[in-house]
Structure formats: structure tokens, C-alpha cells
Amino acid sequence: MLCIETSGLHHRFSNGQVAVDQLSMQVPVGSIYGFLGPNGAGKTTTLRLLLGLLKRQEGEVRFFGQSMSGNRVRTLAGIGSMIETPSVYGHLSARDNLRIWTDYFNCSKNRIDEVLEIVGLTDTAKKKAYAFSLGMKQRLGIAIALLHKPGVLILDEPTNGLDPTGIIEIRDLLKRLNKEEQITILVSSHILAEVEKLVSHVGIINHGKLLFQGTFSDLLSKEKQGILLETGNNILAIQLLREKNILAELSGDELLLPVLDPRSRAEIIDFLVAAKVPVYRLEQRGKNLETIFMDMIK
Amino acid sequence: MGFFRIFRAEWLKKKGSIAYWMVLAGAFFVPLVQMLTYLVYPERLLILHQDTGPFWELVFQRSWNMMSTVFLPMGIVIATSMLCQLEFKNNAWKQVHAAPVHFSTLYFAKLAVVLVMLVQLILLFNVGMYLAVSIPSLFHSQLPYPAYSIPYLHFLYEDLIYFYMCIPLVLLQFALGLLFRNFVVPVGIGLALVVAGMAAISWKYNYLIPSVYPFLHFISSIRPEAKTFNLMNWTSIYTAGFLLAGYLGYVLNPRKG
């Protein structure tokens, strides 16, 4: 079953630039869906369209099979969100901030202590929010999103600007929420290393178009397999390898060779060294999100 | 029920904010100036005690004279803009609009907070008036304590009319405050209107400028013969117009945070 589903979602800014182009996203129930893309790819615009913060121009948005059109209030009652920077009233304490949102979400005041504990802010509940670090504000933002026990969390770059400890804390928290509270999480990010450790499903967007969508293992299987070779003279190495019927292509500062058995690899090294081409490194290309991502958005 | 819940949330947002302090400062500024004047020049208050006219009504008139000209319209412009600015300043519009609440409920709950703050300001201003003429008598033996009976009902009635006269300016400022992210724009437009109203006070068609309505009511209350137009009707027309324009501007805005 799908938790979030869009079909033909399209959005054009007033200057004519297409921000989201016929996007059909499918987020399965119970998944942690990483929405990846470089800056300006259309991630935030898509999330704003999902939440109704931008007026939809074309296409449809459905949550748990129900169309958002004409059901805005009822649909939003099941969604927790944090878009870009957390919305925190700086002149109020964490507890007062949460009191405001319990009224908005029409939920019990008892939830305040529960969510403060979940995000680890119990000891700072009375502190004014302007004195919070960015990490604490992010956690308070997540606490707000969790107040009404939503079925789905939509988080836009929740670890932006956090230090490594903060990133790990937020990642662990999201994993826990997904596992223990069965909350489906849609999280956008451009930090690949972080997404790699968190998500079960991935959607890759660039220039408003969805380039890939599926499970994380599906994505990894898409990677072009081969051998990476780093030499002191790549151009000469390509020519020499061609003489031996091995097709090498330039991939950044390295050469990408087809898959070879260990004996052939050793022979290549001997061959190149004998031809006075220094060989610095030779390795099997690993399954790496970064390379797949870069290949896709090229 | 949903409206009161959202009103409570909106009311909590202003706790300890600049808008909250503006109401207190706005309510007590004129009385404070008057009290300091009477402490330094007690004979000016003594004149009121010796006047044949009703003491409290003279005090009420003097206070509203200062308040209705500049301070009340300016206070409305700044406090209303500050309240709307809370959402922009804290990047909160996107969270507010992603909450399961109807846009109309949000609009009217926020507006209700501004109007209740205005009621607070007017009532506290009355308290300030009382203190401004009472405290000097504790320091100057020649000043009697103002033990005259207070015409509460008359004051409340007049306060109610002043409140009604302020509504068009509140609605205009509220609409501008919700529309512009940059705080300077609504405040600039509002203050320009207040200054324009002051400059045009002797103009034949001064009733076209809604920021002068409290002062026009003050003039008509002391000189009923000076009134050549129906201030209530003009207030009602502007109220309906600004309410509709502000509501549509907010609801139809395609970008909500």
C-alpha cells in the first residue's frame, strides 16, 4: 500500500521556470523514503506541493489513497512536517511552543512531555527557544511534527547545518520512529552519506524530473560494474590497453575498466609498468551511492 | 470550538512578544506623561478640580485628545504589524499552514487576537487615566483626592465608540501585515497614513482617511455641531471593505509560507 502518491505533479514558477515536471512519486507505507537531489532540483517545491503550501497547478496528490483535493484539513491531520528551518517561536519556551501546536493539532497536552522525551529535550523544556542551538531547534521541530501521532512524517533536510553528533542523533531518532512507532518517513536531503545510512527507498530528482524511484538495493544494482585504475598517464594507458583489447574509459581522474579476473588484473599492472606507465591504484568498483547519484544527474 | 482552540494558540504566541509590550506601553504612555506633568505642575490639575464641569469627563476628554490624535493610530499600526510579523520572523507560516486548520479559522482567530489586544489597550488606558490624576494627590497636599463618582457607563460607551472607530485601521494594517514579509512595508504604509491623516485634519474630506476616525470622534464628542458627515457609516463601509480585501488577499495567496 502506498502512503504518499503523486501523479503528473507539475509546477511552474511565475518566471516560467519549471520546478517540478510531471512527477509521479510513490512512497510505500512503513518506508523511509530518501528524496535526493542537488540544490535547486525541486525537492522543497515538491514537499511544499505535497503539504498544500504551494497552490497545485497540475497533477494529483494522494495520502493513503485519499486525494488531497477537497480534503486538505482531514489529510493534514495525519501528517507531521518540518520544511527547511524549524518553525519555532524564539520568545517562547519549548513547552509553550508545543502548547501552541497541541491546540493546532487538537491533541492532548499530555503529549508534550512524551514528545520532549522522544527528542531528548525534557531538561530544556522551560528554556526560551531563541537560546537553543540549531540541533535543539531541529529536534523541537521534529517534536512539533510528532505531537499528533502522525502516520507520515515529511522532513526537508532535517540535518542541515548540524554537527556530526547532531546528524547521528537525528538519524537514530528517525530510524527509531520508523521502527517503533511505524511512522512512514519522507526525508529530503542532498547529503548522500547520511541518506545511505537511513533510507529503505530512494527517489532521485533533478531539474524537477524524477530520475529514479525504488528500493535502495534496486538503486545499488544499477551501478555500472568494473575496475577502477589510477595511473600517472591515463591517455597513454587507454591507448596501451586498447592494444590488448581492453576498453578503458575515463571516469574523473581514473580509468574505468570492465570486470576482470584477478589474473588479468595482475597482468595489466605488469603490462603498464613495463610500458613505463606508473600505476597508483587498482580496485573493484564498490557499490556506492555517490557514484550512482553523480552518474544519474550528469 | 475549533475557533476558540486556535484563538488560544494565537493568544499564547504573543506572550512576552514585542506586540504584548506595545499594548502596555501604548496604554500607559499618555497617562504617564500626564501624571508627570501634574507632579511637576500641580496647578494644572488643580484647575480641573476647581472647574465647574464634571471632573472625570474633563480628565477623559484631555486624555483622549492626546491619545486619539497620534498615539492610538500609531500604536495600532506598530502593534498589529508586530503581531503579524511573529510568523514571518520565526519562519512559522509554513508550519501554521501545514496544520489541519481551515484558512478562514486562522485568519479570524488572528484578527480576534488583535481586536482583543485593542480592547485591552483601551481598558488599560482608562486605568492609566485614573492613576494619572490620583497619584499626584499623594505628593501634593493642595491637590484633593479625586473621590468624585466615576460615570462608568458613559466611559464604557465612549470607549466602545473609540474601539469601533479604530477597526478600519486595524483591518487595513492586519491585511498589510499578512501580505508583506518585510516588516518595513506595512509599518511604512501605516505610518504614512497616520501622518497624512494628521496633515489633512482640517481638510473638508478628512473623513476619507480612516486613521483619523478616533480623532474625528473626539472632535464630534466635544463639538457635536462640527460633525457634517456620518462617521459610523464611513467606519462601517471601510470595515466591510478592508475585511473582505484582507481575507481574500490572505486566502487566495498561492504561496503559503
Name every residue in B having a CB less than 8 A away from some CB of A: 2, 5-6, 8-9, 12-13, 15-17, 86, 89-102, 254-257
Q: Which of A71, A100, A132, A134 to mutate to test the interface with B (most CBs of B within 10 A)?
A: A100
Is B156:B55 a contact under the CB 8 Å cutoff? Answer: no
pLDDT at A287 over 70: no
Residue with cell 460633525: B227
Cβ pair A55:B254 closer than 8 A: yes
Q: What are the φ and ψ backbone dihedral angles of A21, each rounded to 5 degrees? A: -120, 100
Between A221 and A149, the higher pLDDT residue: A149
Cβ pair A81:B254 closer than 8 A: no
How many separate helices (H) and strands (E) can be counted in chain B?
A: 11, 0
> What is the pLDDT at residue A160?
81
Which H/E stretch holds residue B94? Answer: helix B93-97
For Cα atoms B241, B242, B244, give the angle at the middle one, nearest 5 degrees: 70
> What is the pLDDT at residue B113?
97
Across A112-128, average pLDDT: 91
Quick one: pLDDT band at residue A258, thresholds 50, 70, 90? confident
> What is the pLDDT at residue A244?
86
| Residue A96 forms contact with B (CB below 8 Å) | yes
Across A106-120, average pLDDT: 93
pLDDT at B226 over 70: no
Cβ pair B5:A105 closer than 8 A: no
**A73 vs B12, B13, B101: nearest CB:** B101
> What is the pLDDT at residue A264?
87
Q: Which of A87, A93, A148 to mutate to test the interface with B (most CBs of B within 10 A)?
A: A87
pLDDT in tens, A27-44: 999 999 999 998 889 999
Across A101-117, average pLDDT: 95
Quick one: pLDDT band at residue A164, thresholds 50, 70, 90? confident
CA dist., res. B197 & res. A157, Å (int): 49
> Could you give the C-alpha distances from A210 to A59, A223, A257, A297, in angstroms and in order?
14, 18, 29, 10
Across A125-141, average pLDDT: 91
Cβ pair A92:B256 closer than 8 A: no
> What is the pLDDT at residue A93?
95
- Please, what's the largest Cα pairwise distance for chain A? 76
**A89 vs B92, B93, B255: nearest CB:** B92
All 3 cell numbers of residue A183? Answer: 511512522
Residue with cell 501605516: B190
Q: Pick the closest to residue B255 from A57, A9, A16 (CA basis).
A: A57
User: Letter for the amino acid at B149?
Assistant: S
CA dist., res. A152 & res. A176, Å (int): 14
CA dist., res. A269 & res. A281, Å (int): 9
Cβ pair A53:B98 closer than 8 A: yes
- A76-85, A228-237, B195-204, B223-232: lowest mean pLDDT where? B223-232
What is the nearest CA distance from B7 to chain A, expressed in angstroms? 9
- A285-289, B210-214, B215-219: lowest mean pLDDT where? A285-289
Quick one: pLDDT band at residue B223, thresholds 50, 70, 90? confident
SS3 track for chain A? CEEEEEEEEEEECCCCCEEEEEECCEEECCCEEEEECCCCCCHHHHHHHHHCCECCCEEEEEECCEECCCCHHHHHCCEEEECCCCCCCCCCEHHHHHHHHHHHHCCCCHHHHHHHHHHCCHHHCCCEHHHCCHHHHHHHHHHHHHCCCCCEEEEECCCCCCCHHHHHHHHHHHHHHHHHCCCEEEEEECCHHHHHCCCCEEEEEECCEEEEEEEHHHHHHCCCCCEEEEECCHHHHHHHHHHCCCCCEEECCEEEECCCCHHHHHHHHHHHHHCCCCEEEEEECCCCHHHHHHHHHC
**A73 vs B9, B90, B100: nearest CB:** B100
pTM above 0.90, yes or no: no
Quick one: pLDDT band at residue B227, thresholds 50, 70, 90? low
Is A46:A154 a contact under the CB 8 Å cutoff? Answer: no
> What is the pLDDT at residue A293?
81
All 3 cell numbers of residue B244? Answer: 473582505
> What is the pLDDT at residue A295?
76
Cβ pair B256:A53 closer than 8 A: yes
Q: Pick the closest to residue A101 from A90, A91, A88 (CA basis).
A: A88
Question: Which ipTM was obtained for this model?
Answer: 0.88
Q: Which residues of A touch B92 (CB under 8 A)?
A: 87-89
pLDDT in tens, B146-167: 889 999 999 999 999 999 999 9
CA dist., res. B96 & res. B74, Å (int): 28
pLDDT in tens, A209-223: 999 999 988 887 776
CA dist., res. A168 & res. A81, Å (int): 20
CA quadruple A244, A249, A253, A257: dihedral, nearest 10 = -60
Q: Which residues of A touch B97 (CB under 8 A)?
A: 51-53
**A103 vs B8, B90, B97: nearest CB:** B8
DSSP 8-state secondary structure symbol assigned to residue B99: S
Q: Which residues of B touch A54 (CB under 8 A)?
A: 254-256
What is the nearest CA distance from A56 to chain B, expressed in angstroms? 9
CA dist., res. B149 & res. B166, Å (int): 28
| Residue A81 forms contact with B (CB below 8 Å) | yes
Across A118-124, average pLDDT: 89
pLDDT in tens, B74-115: 999 999 999 999 999 999 999 999 999 999 999 999 999 999
pLDDT at A250 over 90: no
Q: Which residue of B has its CA nearest to A72?
A: B100
| Residue A126 forms contact with B (CB below 8 Å) | no
In chain B, the percentage of residues whose pLDDT exceeds 90 is: 80
> What is the pLDDT at residue B228?
66
Cβ pair B91:A48 closer than 8 A: no
> What is the pLDDT at residue A155?
96
What is the nearest CA distance from A133 to chain B, expressed in angstroms? 15
Is B113:B83 a contact under the CB 8 Å cutoff? Answer: yes
pLDDT at A84 over 90: no
> What is the pLDDT at residue B191?
95
The pLDDT mean for chain B works out to: 93
> What is the pLDDT at residue A262?
84
Cβ pair B16:A92 closer than 8 A: yes
Q: Which residue of A has its CA nearest to B109?
A: A104
